[in-house]
């Protein structure tokens, strides 16, 4: 039995979409050192004995269990490649042997990643610091090298029984820990993306003045990746919802809280246009937008120049993955769920509240006016 059309579209899309919920971070130690050829190296494992190095501690995203398993396969391949290299096998022959070995063992590492790994192992050996090249390959993989998805990810998508929501948990890199996104006030509630709060036991919202309140999910629609949060106490005035869809080429902007751990706690504004009135594979529920968005923008309002909400920012295209598959590097290909799907949730609930009027204004004045009604969502 096949998946329903709308679910199939979402599952296929999630393979190369990155949900914009920001995950918690952890500190990792890196070594900066220079090899014998004068090339600067950054590694998590210590450099060769006697080499001067500088240690740095940086904040990095928590590594998912799926990624760890993938990198374990990379480590295994690198160890075997190092043996081939020591035996005098050429890089070309080693690449062919690795391709056959990978398919036989079912390690789910694609050809592009294999070529990258062969180059990594053989070039490192030429620079005479291959004492633990497999360990270095593992470090590099955990840091994001050697691809993000395996060869079977696309082929197996139609059979996956994944949630049909706007972004799969597995595709977001979302850890079980702290996740942040953006929300905004409307009709006495706070709107955000379903994937920001899905499965979380504790939800808080932080307002622009810094105060926080506890929230809980009142209504949600995982198929369209929208949710409404309830809080106790008074809320700022709500943002007005657009009665009509935005047209092709319409100027839009968003206000949100991307990468608060790096970019700071103040809301960030970015602008662009509606590049398409449909999403991936012509999904009619989405806009494609050129507005630059990052992790943490999930759930933020997409507004027109009248200050009316036309959609909720939900995902971005994985440029790196598309490049790996096609050789082309897309830029600013992002997506927002149309506000009409939020309206369906609002029809299930009633909350008396004041909404600010729509008005044409400068971006500066819009930001000042709507800023208090846009919140940081913290889900744990």
Q: Which pLDDT tens digit goes with each residue over 193-249?
A: 999 999 899 999 999 999 999 999 999 999 899 999 999 988 999 999 999 999 999
Its sign, for the CA torsion 133, 135, 139, 140, is positive
- What's the chain's average pLDDT? 79
Sign for the pseudo-dihedral over CA of 70, 72, 78, 81: negative
Mean pLDDT of 284-296: 93
Distance (Å) of CA 263 to CA 61, 205, 294, 350, 379: 15, 18, 11, 36, 19
Domain check: are 195 and 332 in the same one?
Answer: yes
Confidence (pTM): 0.60
Q: For residue 358, is it within any domain?
A: yes
pLDDT exceeds 70 at position 304: yes
State residue 66's pLDDT score. 82
56 vs 214, which has greater pLDDT?
214
What number of H helices and E strands is found in the chain? 12, 17
Band the pLDDT of 39: cuts 50, 70, 90: low
Q: Is residue 83 predicted with pLDDT exceeding 80?
A: yes
Cα separation, 259 vs 262, in Å, equals 5
- Decide if 229 is inside a domain: yes
| DSSP three-state, residue 95 | helix
* Residue 172 Cα to chain centre, angstroms: 5
Mean pLDDT confidence for 153-175: 29
The CATH number that applies at residue 373 is 2.40.10.120
310 and 378 both lie in a single domain: yes
* H/E element, 319: helix 319-326
Alpha carbon of residue 148 to chain centroid: 12
**pLDDT more than 70, % of the chain:** 71
At residue 202, the 3 state secondary structure works out as coil
For the residues 104-109, what does the mean pLDDT come to? 83
Bridge partners of 207? Answer: none
Same domain, 202 and 349: yes
Residue written as tokens 């295994």?
76
Last residue of a domain, one of 94, 121, 152: 152
* Tally of structural domains, the chain: 2
Kindly state whether residues 262 and 349 are assigned to the same domain.
yes
- Contact call for residues 329 and 314 (beta carbons, < 8 A): no
What pLDDT, on a 0 to 100 scale, did the predictor assign at position 329?
72
The domain in which residue 73 lies consists of: 34-152
């Amino acid at each position: 039995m096949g998946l329903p059309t709308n679910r199939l579209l979402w599952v296929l899309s999630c393979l190369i979409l990155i949900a914009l919920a920001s995950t918690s971070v952890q500190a990792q130690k890196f070594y900066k050192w220079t090899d014998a050829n004068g090339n600067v190296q950054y590694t998590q494992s210590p450099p060769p004995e006697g080499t001067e190095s500088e240690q740095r501690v940086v904040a990095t995203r928590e590594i998912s269990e799926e990624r760890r398993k993938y990198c374990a396969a990379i480590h295994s391949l690198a160890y075997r490649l190092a043996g081939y290299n020591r035996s005098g096998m050429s890089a070309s022959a080693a690449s062919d042997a690795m391709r056959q070995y990978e398919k036989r063992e079912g390690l789910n590492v694609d050809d592009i990643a294999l070529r990258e790994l062969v180059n990594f192992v053989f070039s490192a050996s030429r620079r005479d610091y291959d004492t633990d090249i497999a360990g270095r390959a593992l470090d590099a993989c955990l840091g994001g090298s050697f691809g993000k998805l395996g060869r079977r990810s696309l082929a197996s998508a139609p059979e996956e029984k994944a949630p049909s929501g706007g972004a799969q948990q597995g595709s977001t890199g979302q850890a079980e820990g702290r996740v942040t996104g953006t929300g905004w006030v409307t009709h006495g509630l706070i709107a955000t993306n379903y994937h920001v709060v899905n499965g979380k036991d504790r939800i808080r919202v932080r307002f622009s003045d810094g105060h926080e309140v506890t929230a809980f999910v009142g209504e949600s629609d995982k198929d369209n990746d929208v949710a409404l949060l309830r809080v106790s106490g008074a809320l700022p005035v709500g943002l007005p919802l657009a009665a009509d869809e935005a047209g092709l080429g319409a100027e839009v902007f968003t206000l949100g809280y991307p990468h608060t751990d790096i970019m700071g706690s103040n809301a960030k504004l970015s602008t662009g246009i509606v590049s398409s009135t449909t999403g991936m594979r012509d999904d009619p529920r989405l806009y494609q937008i050129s507005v630059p968005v990052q992790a943490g923008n999930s759930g933020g309002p997409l507004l027109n120049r009248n200050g009316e909400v036309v959609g909720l920012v939900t995902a971005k295209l994985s440029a790196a993955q598309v490049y790996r598959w096609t050789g082309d590097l897309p830029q600013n290909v992002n997506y927002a769920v149309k506000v009409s799907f939020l309206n369906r949730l609002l029809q299930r609930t009633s909350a008396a509240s004041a909404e600010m009027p729509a008005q044409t204004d400068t971006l500066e004045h819009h930001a000042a006016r709507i800023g208090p009604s846009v919140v940081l969502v913290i889900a744990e």
